[in-house]
Amino acid sequence: MPHDTLLLIGRDTSRATPFETHARRLRERGVATDVTVLTYDHEPRRELRDELVAIDADRVFALPMTVAHDHSTVTDVPAALDEIDAETHYCEPVGRSPLLTEAIRDRAAAAVPEAADSSVALVAFGSSGKPYQRQVTEYHAERLRERSAFGEVEPCYLLQNPAVECVRYNLAHDHAVAVPLFLAPTDATESQIPAKLDLDRGGLAYTDTLGDHPLVTEAVATAVETARTMADTRTPQTFEATLAATNRPMATDGEGD
């Protein structure tokens, strides 16, 4: 039986995050021999080098604790994983898991009735250049619409259109709630989004992030088991899942040889 280490890698938001809660649950379930949380601010390869070099394991499964890929998770984090002296597998973010749809539904239903006269806004960070955030947000919006749990479900974003500051004017129903599509509290979820939603006006509820919801833990466990199965059967992986093996630091980044 190989000694497997699971790394949950996330941003240091200078706020209490749910990552350790997920790690504890995953340890209790025996998902891996070791489960470790690593956080970074701006430069994962520099900031995480000592922890990554010190890992003693046969295999490492690394999972970015974010809803969707961003610049850091498709470039900097995979490059940082090159410091590990072990067989390393980079897992997909959990954002496309159908389990997260149910977690979103739980958050919304705690604030407004599951009924035809309720509106849900899914609020994501967005990106001016990458499609990942939009793809994940629209995926969950469509799944919620298919379930007909709420009268309408509208995506909106901080960094692209439709803009979060306009969403309250696009919601047509008596009961309305905005659900931030984030795995942990950040300045965006605690300050920027509430300000842009103008929550002080009333008429629009606002939920916590997906945070420590048990279904997020379940989604992480499922992602790891998928990566383990692919590793055991030597199944070819998707582009994002091979980044750890193919993305190496360049000499021009100050870290190359």
Give pTM, 2 decimals: 0.89
Instruction: Mark whether 84 and 109 lie in a shared domain.
Output: no
Q: What is the CATH number of the domain that holds 111?
A: 3.40.50.1400
Mean pLDDT, to the nearest integer, of 149-168?
A: 96
Question: pLDDT tens-digit profile of 213-255?
Answer: 999 999 999 999 999 999 888 755 544 444 444 344 433 333 3
253 is a domain residue? no
- pLDDT above 50 for 38: yes
- Structural domain harbouring 113: 98-206
Mean pLDDT, to the nearest integer, of 156-172?
A: 95
237 is a domain residue? no
Instruction: Mark whether 65 and 144 lie in a shared domain.
Output: no
DSSP secondary structure letters along 35-46: EEEEEESS-HHH
Beta carbons within 10 angstroms of residue 135's beta carbon? 13
- pLDDT above 90 for 257: no
Measured CA to CA, the distance from residue 113 to residue 176 in angstroms comes to: 9
Q: What pLDDT score does 129 carry?
A: 82
Instruction: Mark whether 82 and 119 lie in a shared domain.
Output: no
Among candidates 31, 87, 14, which has minimal Cα distance to 55? Answer: 87
Instruction: Mark whether 184 and 102 lie in a shared domain.
Output: yes
Mean pLDDT, to the nearest integer, of 204-208?
A: 98
Two tokens at 143? Answer: 């799944």
Measured CA to CA, the distance from residue 246 to residue 241 in angstroms comes to: 10
Measured CA to CA, the distance from residue 247 to residue 249 in angstroms comes to: 7
- In the three-class reduction of DSSP (H, G, I as helix; E, B as strand; rest coil), residue 4 is classed as strand
Q: Which residues are CB-neighbours of 86 under 8 A, at least 6 positions away?
A: 5, 55, 57, 58, 59, 60
Question: pLDDT tens-digit profile of 61-88?
Answer: 999 999 999 989 999 999 999 999 999 9
Q: What pLDDT score does 158 carry?
A: 95
- pLDDT above 80 for 1: no
Beta carbons within 10 angstroms of residue 185's beta carbon? 18
The total number of structural domains in the chain stands at 2
Q: What pLDDT score does 237 carry?
A: 53
Mean pLDDT, to the nearest integer, of 5-18?
A: 89
Instruction: Mark whether 78 and 52 lie in a shared domain.
Output: yes
Q: What pLDDT score does 2 carry?
A: 81
Instruction: Mark whether 89 and 162 lie in a shared domain.
Output: no
- pLDDT band at 256; cut points 50, 70, 90: very low
Instruction: Mark whether 117 and 162 lie in a shared domain.
Output: yes
- pLDDT above 50 for 191: yes
Mean pLDDT, to the nearest integer, of 85-114?
A: 96
Measured CA to CA, the distance from residue 43 to residue 9 in angstroms comes to: 12
21 is a domain residue? yes
Mean pLDDT for the chain? 90
Query: Which of 53-57, 93-97, 235-239 has the lowest average pLDDT?
Result: 235-239
- In the three-class reduction of DSSP (H, G, I as helix; E, B as strand; rest coil), residue 78 is classed as helix
Instruction: Mark whether 116 and 82 lie in a shared domain.
Output: no
Instruction: Mark whether 190 and 115 lie in a shared domain.
Output: yes
